[in-house]
């Protein structure tokens, strides 16, 4: 009879989802292994720095303005983001950002969960982002 080894669900989640946590100002307080691997940064290079460290210059500023407006308002934000790796390459992620609140319902930070974006989603968003870039000041 084969012995079945229990699956560590936390390990599966951690390995497949890119996770980071920030304070209320967007300074990284936690980065999981998947985030480090995909971004090319070590955890100690990420923690304590602005999440802008991975912002790709091709991303429209208005998208981040809308994102901040949403999460500062206590709502969840979803969207596709093109991020810049430490080595200059880039990657696209399907992102969900949730506010973290204390017992008084004040926002103390944010947690983001991401997965690598599909080719279809990337293609659908590239054109829209390009148009936003053309109109930004």
Question: pLDDT, tens digit, for every residue of 21-54?
Answer: 999 999 999 999 999 999 999 999 999 999 999 9
Say whether pLDDT at 12 is over 50: no
| Contact in structure between 112 and 19 (CB atoms under 8 Å) | yes
Task: Supply the pLDDT for residue 127.
Answer: 79
User: Which CATH code is given to the segment(s) 9-135?
Assistant: 3.30.450.20
Give residue for tokens 């506010």. Answer: 99
Q: Where are the domains of the chain?
A: 9-135
Task: Supply the pLDDT for residue 124.
Answer: 86
Q: Which of 78 and 12 is assigned the larger pLDDT?
A: 78
Q: What tens digit of pLDDT does each residue of 92-131 get? A: 999 999 999 999 999 999 999 999 998 999 888 887 787 7
Say what the alpha-carbon torsion angle 107, 112, 118, 119 is, to the nearest 10 degrees: 80
Say whether pLDDT at 2 is over 60: no
Q: How confident is the model at residue 133 (pLDDT cuts 50, 70, 90)?
A: confident
Helix (H) or strand (E) holding 26: none
Q: Identify the CA nearest to 24 among candidates 95, 101, 77, 81.
A: 101
The pTM of the whole model exceeds 0.85: no
Residue 117 sits at φ, ψ, to 5 deg, of -75, 150
DSSP strands (E only) in the chain: 18-23, 28-31, 77-84, 90-101, 107-116
Q: Identify the CA nearest to 22 among candidates 50, 55, 53, 64.
A: 50
Say whether pLDDT at 82 is over 70: yes
């Amino acid at each position: 009879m084969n012995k079945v080894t229990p699956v560590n669900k936390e390990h599966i989640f951690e390995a497949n989802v890119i996770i980071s946590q920030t304070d209320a100002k967007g300074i990284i307080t936690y980065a999981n292994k998947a985030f480090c691997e995909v971004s090319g940064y070590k955890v100690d290079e990420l923690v304590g720095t602005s999440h802008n460290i991975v912002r790709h210059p091709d991303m429209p500023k208005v998208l981040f303005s809308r994102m901040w407006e949403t999460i500062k308002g206590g709502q969840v934000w979803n969207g596709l983001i093109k991020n810049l790796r430490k080595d200059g390459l880039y990657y696209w992620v399907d992102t969900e950002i949730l506010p973290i609140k204390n017992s008084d319902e004040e926002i103390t930070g944010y947690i983001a969960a991401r997965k690598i974006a599909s080719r279809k989603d990337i293609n659908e968003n590239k054109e829209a982002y390009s148009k936003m870039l053309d109109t930004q000041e």
